[in-house]
Structure 1
Amino acid sequence: MEKKTPHLPSTSEQILERSTKGATFLMMGQLFTKMVTFVLNNLLIRFLSPRIFGITAFLEFIQGTVLFFSRDAIRLSTLRISDSGNGIVDDDSEDYQETHYKSKVLQTAVNFAHIPLWIGFPLSIGLTAWQYRNINAYFITLPFFTWSIFLIWLSIIVELLSEPFFIVNQFMLNYAARSRFESIAVTTGCIVNFIVVYAVQQSRYPMGIVTADSDKEGIAILAFALGKVTHSITLLGCYYWDYHKNFKPKKLFSTKLTKIKSSESNEIKKNYSKNSSYFFQNDILEHFKKVYFQLCFKHLLTEGDKLIINSLCTVEEQGIYALLSNYGSLLTRLLFAPIEESLRLFLARLLSSHNQKNLKLAIEVLVNLTRFYIYLSLMIIVFGPVNSSFLLQFLIGSKWSTTSVLDTIRVYCFYIPFLSLNGIFEAFFQSVATGDQILKHSYFMMAFSGIFLLNSWALIEKLKLSIEGLIVSNIINMILRILYCGVFLNKFHRELFTDSSFFFNFKDFKTVIVAGLTVCLVDWWFIGYVKNLQQFFVNVLFALGLLALIMVKERQTIQSLINKRAMSGSKDV
């Protein structure tokens, strides 16, 4: 039986439907992987000290930095490759024409997917070697630490080898495959990490009984590195299996860098090289250069907290902040991150054609998402600080009981709403902005980086606020970024809807905000910080009451979305 050629979504309805489903797939995948990592990390916390969590967070930062600078700009840029292939092939066979053009588009994307490896190979060597020479001397003396560094480097290279397959599935909005493969890879890596640590704690190390704390710490770091390599190899294996099953039989693209012949169509030809053949589409290559420059400053701001804490805080404080990032941003990674990524992919594909219908649909989706984020942010601010420390104390072992993590998690709750709202605003900006607008944004990001570093130095070094000072600096950073994208959004909205402000869509929040503040004051006056299950149950009732008010207020919007979903389902039938 002949395999069905994978389908490229083309209409705005198809892109929106697949993106909506994609957000669900990504959320479910994130939920599954976070549940696995959540359970295993809670077990590991009882075996490991804050110092070990600090150094593993540092190694993960090295890996994440190399991967970000190697591949993120390409992932954003390839979404702008045009897939409007009408009239490209002069052939009577419609299937042949579709398959032929699809192959050309996908091969263009795959060619760009080679660039991350070209960037990542030298960058990973340079950054890893530099950090190895400057790391704390204590860790250099640990057993297997050099092997751990090598394995982290190897995991980077292996993960970059899977980039062509990721780019193809991203371009075709194949969220289900990506979510499934990433879930398998994360689970496998976490299991390997836990098994090695647990075996050492049970003195089952094959070369003899491990007694020294330094030996156990060295092997704990090695276990982390082995988990990362396992994750990368599993991910590459899953993508390669999928390629052989769904793409190779149809010869839709080659994994090798392949020269592509230019089309005879003048409309398409202007987007490509002037030569008769090309490796990289010119306009996408130029956009990549501008996006890459902008992402450098975005990463400095996004990951700047790790740079600051590595410089100004102790290893123990680094471990505490790593724990906060894992637990404090759990909602962000489970819910906000998949929505943000789906929005970015949806907008990039939808707005490859800037017609009025697509632009208005993009604004409508963003307005609904922003309203949802505002409501959820209100819930987090009202109930997060008073309940977070009570919930967290059940998840951490005795080794963390003397740290300030229970107090700091309350401050971190105020950071999450700013982080999430900035995510969707910047996703919209990156999807609709021109290359020159992105370049201008880069200069502002440079200024924001300076402000962030100055604030962090003043709050941590001078005012001795430690991790709380870093969180406040991050909040100020996010406010600046939200304001910049907010101004851009408002101007974009005015041009599209004839002087109508984007922020007028949110002028009816007065009732819910007053109710939220009232609940917050009553809760704080009668309960304060939650200390037992009875108080926690009262807070759950307060939260359900506020949620009911929100749903009543937004009942028309909810009903409209349900009706659209039902109509979409009836069409599919």
Structure 2
Amino acid sequence: MEPMEDQCFAFMSHSARDLERRSATEQRSVQLGVRRVFSLALKASLSFTLLLSFLGPSYSYVFLRFVYGREWADHSSASILLSAYFVYLVAMSVNGICEATFNGTLGGPEFQRYGKFTLLLSLVYLSLSAFLSRWLGPVGLIVANALNMIIRVSYCLRQLSRSGFVDLTNFSQIRPKKWSLATLIMGSLMSSVSGHKLAVALTSSYTSLKTQLCWGVIHLLVGGCSVIIYAICIWVTDSKFVEDVRRIVSPRTRSSSGS
């Protein structure tokens, strides 16, 4: 999600440049523009990372089995770590968008306070990592990272809300539509079942190669169909969001709409 974060930072820093020297009307216009782009970027980021977090864990074992072999897939915690990382991507992407907006809009004093805050948070993170790694093993490091990201997101949102660049009372426009979430949940359940069947077929010495290939194809089809249905669901139920993304991504669309 780094390209989106870079574009978000570039837009925010350009929009908020010399903001204190502008009139109240111009400041209000800039704040509304930042809110709109922030909401759009955050929703786009969530739409992608939620897809990975719901479907990715079901394909962790298969990926490791075919790329790194049985030793990594069956006799290590790599599959669990990869599954946890897919979920962690949600927190990481949200933090990236929030920090890009924070760095692009707020000035020097806020940077200094944020630097002190992150320094203190780093000390807490090290202690939390040591504790969770003993309790949960390697997954504890990912959990500690996720908690670290959530705390940083909370700080950035609080400061952005105080400055008027984020409206915390209107987060319904960022939340995915209920049909999109239902599609993700259904896809996650179906891919979990097909992934379990495939894992059993691969680990059993009594399963024929034909059966393994059959479950492999089914597992891939379930994932592919889930992605397609999810994309169609977003296209149909959230057409305004899709159109806003197209206007930002496509210069031709943006210029034609402006004329």
| Partners of 1:483 and 1:367 in 2: CA distance | 15
Report the CA distance shift for 1:563/1:505 in structure 2 as closer, same or farther (over 3 A). closer
Counterpart in 2 of 1:322?
none
TM norm structure 1: 0.37
* Contact 1:530 1:536 (8 Å CA) reproduced: no
* Contact 2:34 2:165 (8 Å CA) reproduced: no
| Partners of 1:560 and 1:477 in 2: CA distance | 31
Report the CA distance shift for 1:560/1:380 in structure 2 as closer, same or farther (over 3 A). closer
In the alignment, is residue 544 of structure 1 matched against residue 228 of structure 2? yes
| Partners of 1:523 and 1:397 in 2: CA distance | 21
Report the CA distance shift for 1:487/1:500 in structure 2 as closer, same or farther (over 3 A). closer
Counterpart in 2 of 1:468?
139
| Partners of 1:524 and 1:397 in 2: CA distance | 21
> Which sections of structure 1, spanning at least 5 residues, go unmatched?
1-335
Counterpart in 1 of 2:181?
513
> Which sections of structure 2, spanning at least 5 residues, go unmatched?
20-25, 200-215
Report the CA distance shift for 1:496/1:440 in structure 2 as closer, same or farther (over 3 A). closer
Helix, strand or coil at the partner of 2:67: coil
Counterpart in 2 of 1:349?
14
Counterpart in 2 of 1:207?
none
Counterpart in 2 of 1:440?
113
Q: Which has the higher contact order (CA 8 A, sep 6+)?
A: 2
In the alignment, is residue 379 of structure 1 matched against residue 44 of structure 2? no
Residue identity opposite 2:41 in structure 1: L
Report the CA distance shift for 1:453/1:562 in structure 2 as closer, same or farther (over 3 A). closer
Helix, strand or coil at the partner of 2:66: coil
* Contact 1:387 1:530 (8 Å CA) reproduced: no
User: Aligned-pair distance for 1:441?
Assistant: 1.8
Report the CA distance shift for 1:417/1:496 in structure 2 as closer, same or farther (over 3 A). closer
* Contact 2:52 2:86 (8 Å CA) reproduced: yes
* Contact 2:39 2:173 (8 Å CA) reproduced: yes
Counterpart in 2 of 1:479?
150
1:360 to 23, 28, 32: 32
* Contact 2:55 2:223 (8 Å CA) reproduced: yes
Q: Map 1:61-460; keep pairs closer than 5 Å.
A: 336-354=1-19, 355-356=26-27, 357-396=29-68, 403-460=76-133
User: Aligned-pair distance for 1:399?
Assistant: 7.9
TM norm structure 2: 0.76
Report the CA distance shift for 1:504/1:488 in structure 2 as closer, same or farther (over 3 A). farther
Report the CA distance shift for 1:359/1:529 in structure 2 as closer, same or farther (over 3 A). farther
| Partners of 1:400 and 1:567 in 2: CA distance | 47
Helix, strand or coil at the partner of 1:393: helix
Report the CA distance shift for 1:474/1:560 in structure 2 as closer, same or farther (over 3 A). closer
User: Aligned-pair distance for 1:383?
Assistant: 0.3
* Contact 2:55 2:188 (8 Å CA) reproduced: yes
Structure 1 residues 456-511: Cα deviation after superposition (integer angstroms, max 9, x where no partner): 11122x32x3321111111111111111112223333xx469x7735243356333
User: Aligned-pair distance for 1:387?
Assistant: 0.9
Q: Which has the larger radius of gyration?
A: 1
* Contact 2:61 2:79 (8 Å CA) reproduced: yes
Aligned residues: 233
| Partners of 2:219 and 2:89 in 1: CA distance | 24
Larger fraction in helix: 2
* Contact 1:370 1:421 (8 Å CA) reproduced: yes
User: Aligned-pair distance for 1:352?
Assistant: 1.3
